Amino acid sequence: MLQSGPVTERTQPASSAPRATAPADVLVTRAFAPAAMEWLRRECTVHALYGAPDREALLREVGPRVRAAIGFGAVTAAMIDAMPGLEIIASTGVGYDHVDVDAALRRGIVVTNTPGVLDDAVADTALALLLAVERRIVAADRFVRAGRWAAHEAFPFTRHLGDLTLGILGLGRIGLAVARRAEPFGMRVAYHNRRPRADVPYAYHATPLALANACDVLMCIVPGGAETRHLVDEAVLRALGPQGTLVNIARGSVVDESALVRCLQDGTLGAAALDVYDREPHVPPELFALEQVVLAPHVGSATHSTRRAMADLAVRNVLARLAGEPVLTPIPECAELAR
C-alpha cells in the first residue's frame, strides 16, 4: 500500500532502486508542483502534453503506450480514444469537469480527484474575495494610489459583514469551510444544495432563486459541468438585486456570464468578486471598467503547500493504479470500478 502524507525523501522509493518492469508511460496534461513532478519522473516515463508544439502528433506517437494521464487540462473522448491502454485519469484538482467522465467509464478507466486537501485554502480565498468586494479593498487601494485621499476626497462607506446574510450555493466540503469562516464575522448563513444537510444549523432553500431572495451575498461553490451550467441565471442575479453581491469561486460555467455583465453594468446587481470565468484566461473586458467588481485569476487553491498536497495526492493515485492497488480518491461516479 502506498503511504499517505506529504511526499518526503522518506516516503519516496530511492530513484536508484532496481526496477522489475519498464517504467510506465504517463501523459501530463498540465504542469503541477515541481517536487511531485520530479517524483513522477523518477517512477514513470513522463510525456508533457502541455507546451508540446503539436499536441496531436505527440498523442499519436505516445498514445498507444500511455497507461495514465494526470493534470488539470482537458481530457476529451478523442484523447481517451488515442490512448487504448489508459487505466487512470488523475485530476490534480477536486473539480473534474475538464474530464469526459462518460467516455472514461465506458472504457473502464478510473478517474480520481483531490478532495479535502484544498478546502482551507479555497475557503480562505473565498473569504478574501468576500471581504475585498464588500469593504471595497481593491477600489480603496486604487483610490490611495491615485492621490485622491491626499487630495482630501472621502472614500465611500461600505457594509458591515455582521449585518449580512451569506447564501452558499453548494454547501459541500469547501462550502462548509466558508460557512465556518463567515460565522465569526457575525454573518448569518443560508444555503442551497440539491438535498438539505442534516448536520448543519443553516437555513436551507430549495432553489438557487429562493436562496438569492434570502441573502445579501451569494457565494457559488458547486461543481462545474452540465448539471450546474447557468445555475445562476439572470433571474437569480435580479433576485440578488442592486444591493446584492455575487462571489463565484466555483466554475465560470455556473454563472450566465453575459447576464452577469449586463446586470453589473446597469446596476441590476450591486457587486461581484470572481475567481473563475467562462473562457479562462479570457475575462469579459466590460468588467475591467467596473469599480464594484473584484477579479482574481483562478487562484482559489493556489498556495505552495496546497498545490503540493494536491499534486502529491494525484501522483499517489496514479502510482497506486499502476501498481494494481486501489486508488485513494476515486470520483463518486467510479467508486465501484476503483476497488
Which range binds ligand NDP by CB under 6 A, 17-25, 53-61, 66-74, 115-123? 115-123
- Classify strands 245-248 and 25-28 as parallel, antiparallel or unpaired: unpaired
Q: Which three cell numbers stand for residue 264?
A: 453589473
Which one of residues 10, 152, 194, 304 is an interface residue with ligand NDP (CB under 6 A)? 194
Give the shortest CB-279-to-ligand NDP separation in angstroms: 15
Compute the residue count for the chain: 339
Which range binds ligand NDP by CB under 6 A, 17-25, 157-165, 249-257, 283-291? 249-257
Q: Output Rg (C-alpha) for the chain, integer angstroms.
A: 22
Cα 261 to chain center, whole Å?
A: 22
> Is residue 175 a contact partner of residue 221, using CB atoms and an 8 Å limit?
yes
Q: What is Dmax (Cα atoms) for the chain?
A: 74
Cα 311 to chain center, whole Å?
A: 14
333 binds ligand NDP (CB under 6 A): no
Is 280 a catalytic site residue? Answer: yes
Give the shortest CB-66-to-ligand NDP separation in angstroms: 26
Is 251 a catalytic site residue? Answer: yes
Give the shortest CB-289-to-ligand NDP separation in angstroms: 24
Is 56 a catalytic site residue? Answer: no
**C-alpha–C-alpha distance, residues 176 and 267, integer Å:** 30
Which one of residues 170, 244, 252, 330 is an interface residue with ligand NDP (CB under 6 A)? 170
**What angle (nearest 5°) sits at the alpha carbon of residue 137, between those of residues 132 and 143?**
155
With respect to ligand NDP, which residue has the nearer C-beta, 238 or 298? 298
Which positions are annotated as active-site residues? 251, 280, 298
Residues that bind ligand NDP (CB under 6 A): 94-95, 115, 118, 122, 170-175, 192-195, 221-224, 227-228, 231, 249-251, 275-276, 298, 300-301
